[in-house]
Amino acid sequence: KVCVGAKPETVGINDDALEVVTADQLKAEFDAVVLAAGSEVPRDLSVPGRQLEGVHYALEFLVPQNKEVAGDEKNPISAAGKHVVVIGGGDTGSDCVGTSNRHGALSVTQFELLPQPPKVENRPLTWPYWPLKMRTSSSHEEGCERDFAVSTKELIGENGKVKALKAVRLDWSSGKPLETGHEFELKADLVLLAMGFTNPVHSLLDAFGVEKDARGNAKATTDGAGCYATNVPKVFAAGDVRRGQSLVVWAIREGRQAAREVDAFLMGSSVLPR
């Protein structure tokens, strides 16, 4: 396991590298380099009390759990006997729900900023895009209170540790989130932030000198001559590091297409499928 350049300073990014190499080393030793590191910087929650003990990014909780299951050291974050609040309604949030239940949490509540979606999608309206509908995972079925159209306003602490969460309900009827003034508090001994990811680690892109797009991703096209190539000679980018947080099927597609472009770059042509 290696880390390119200086280890990232961003909190919430897993880094268990045993060796550090530089971008210059890779460019000197290889004829082509593909950056496919994903979009790893987690979206933060900028509210009072964010610094309290017991507030963690989702992967700070999930990655050590996977390692514990694999036989490594015990997860330093435990949900056992705690009231857990998961902020974020996606797959990562669902993983936090399931893991918290298996730890033996007293309660698990999952907040979603958006309103509750319908049970059945409107296929003519959404096709060919990802359909909007209520999705219940096996983790939810294990036990979870799901609450929609909720915005967290403050994390309340006691002796430096999070003990409660203050939130407000939202009205989406205008198409925009408007606070209703209906605030409430909820017990919270462990708060897990699962609100998605904003961009790839910039220290990685900067180490190679790769130009970024307006959203902070590696800038590279997906069609035409020189697609998936960055502004740096023989350095390519594919997947979430290029397009931003997305679905695994997009990562697979871009990985296959980038492989073809690298093959053509090295060999002059390629018979690989696109």
Are residues 261 and 183 both part of a single domain?
Answer: no
Are residues 153 and 222 both part of a single domain?
Answer: no
Are residues 249 and 141 both part of a single domain?
Answer: no
Identify whether 274 is part of a domain: no
Q: Which residue has the higher pLDDT, 157 or 20?
A: 157
When pLDDT is cut at 50, 70 and 90, the band that residue 80 belongs to is: very high
When pLDDT is cut at 50, 70 and 90, the band that residue 18 belongs to is: confident
Query: What would the two tokens of residue 85 be?
Result: 């609040």
Are residues 136 and 167 both part of a single domain?
Answer: yes
Identify whether 159 is part of a domain: yes
**Cα–Cα dist 54/77, whole Å:** 8
Q: Give the per-residue pLDDT at 145.
A: 93
Q: Give the per-residue pLDDT at 190.
A: 98
When pLDDT is cut at 50, 70 and 90, the band that residue 166 belongs to is: very high
Average pLDDT (227-242) is 97
Average pLDDT (14-41) is 90
Query: What would the two tokens of residue 199 be?
Result: 């961009």
Distances (CA, A) of 155 to 23, 145, 166: 40, 19, 6
Q: Which residue has the higher pLDDT, 123 or 37?
A: 37
Query: What would the two tokens of residue 114 be?
Result: 């958006």
Average pLDDT (114-121) is 85
Domain end call among 173, 193, 213: 193
Are residues 168 and 187 both part of a single domain?
Answer: yes
Are residues 172 and 203 both part of a single domain?
Answer: no
Are residues 155 and 206 both part of a single domain?
Answer: no
User: Percent of the chain scored above 70 by pLDDT?
Assistant: 96
When pLDDT is cut at 50, 70 and 90, the band that residue 3 belongs to is: low
- Considering only CA atoms, which of 165, 239, 205, 143 is closest in space to residue 6? 205
Are residues 81 and 164 both part of a single domain?
Answer: yes
Beta strand pairing call for 197-199 and 33-35: unpaired
Q: Give the per-residue pLDDT at 120.
A: 80
Show the domain range for 64.
Answer: 44-193
Average pLDDT (163-187) is 96
**Residues 135, 198, 225, 265: is their CA dihedral positive or negative?**
negative
Query: Hey, which bits of 137-266 come out as E strands?
Result: 145-148, 150-158, 161-171, 178-187, 190-193, 197-199, 235-237
CATH number of the domain at 184, please.
3.50.50.60
**Cα–Cα dist 200/233, whole Å:** 20
**Cα–Cα dist 128/151, whole Å:** 30
Query: What would the two tokens of residue 195 be?
Result: 């609100």
Are residues 159 and 204 both part of a single domain?
Answer: no
Give the number of domains in the chain: 2
**pLDDT at position 1 over 50:** no
Domain end call among 139, 158, 193: 193
Are residues 58 and 186 both part of a single domain?
Answer: yes
Are residues 85 and 217 both part of a single domain?
Answer: no
Q: Give the per-residue pLDDT at 132.
A: 76
Are residues 34 and 80 both part of a single domain?
Answer: no
Average pLDDT (108-135) is 83
Q: What is the mean pLDDT of the chain?
A: 92
Domain end call among 141, 171, 193: 193
When pLDDT is cut at 50, 70 and 90, the band that residue 20 belongs to is: confident
Q: Which residue has the higher pLDDT, 20 or 122?
A: 20
**Cα–Cα dist 65/192, whole Å:** 14
Identify whether 273 is part of a domain: no
Q: Give the per-residue pLDDT at 194.
A: 96
The angle at the Cα of 109, spanning 108 to 114, to the nearest 5 degrees, equals 150
